[in-house]
Amino acid sequence: MKKADLQDLPVLDVRKVTAEQLRGLADLFDAMADAEFERLPGMAQCAARRELDAGVSTILGLPDLSTLRALLASEPVVSNRPL
């Protein structure tokens, strides 16, 4: 990724997270503190990661992250597979 592309990446502005969202994220963290996560290459099928992504999406009003998670899992650096 080129540095110029970084300017266009959407990034959470933590100054705009509401108290309600912060409570929701803290509750989600507490609920998942003992969850077992698959290694990164298995993230597309990891139930805990799906639950975490769904919770964050709901709390922050984001779209479904499953497609993004699957794409990230298929990246050669993550999957340890050639293109």
Rounded to whole angstroms, the Cα distance separating 42 from 20 reads: 32
Answer yes or no: is 18 within a domain. Answer: no
Q: Which domain holds residue 63?
A: 40-83
Q: How confident is the model at residue 1 (pLDDT cuts 50, 70, 90)?
A: low
Answer yes or no: is 78 within a domain. Answer: yes
Answer yes or no: is 3 within a domain. Answer: no
47-71: per-residue pLDDT in tens? 999 999 999 999 999 999 999 998 8
Average pLDDT over residues 22-44: 95
Whole-number pLDDT of residue 2? 80
Rounded to whole angstroms, the Cα distance separating 31 from 26 reads: 9
Give Cβ neighbours of residue 21 (< 8 Å, ≥ 6 apart): 59, 60
- Considering its fold, how many domains does the chain have in total? 1
Query: Which pair of tokens denotes residue 81?
Result: 């597979």
* 40 membership: H or E segment, kind and range: none
Please, what is the average pLDDT of the chain? Answer: 91
Position with higher pLDDT, 2 vs 47: 47
Query: Which pair of tokens denotes residue 54?
Result: 């769904």
Answer yes or no: is 52 within a domain. Answer: yes
Find tokens 């077992």 and name the residue.
36
Answer yes or no: is 28 within a domain. Answer: no
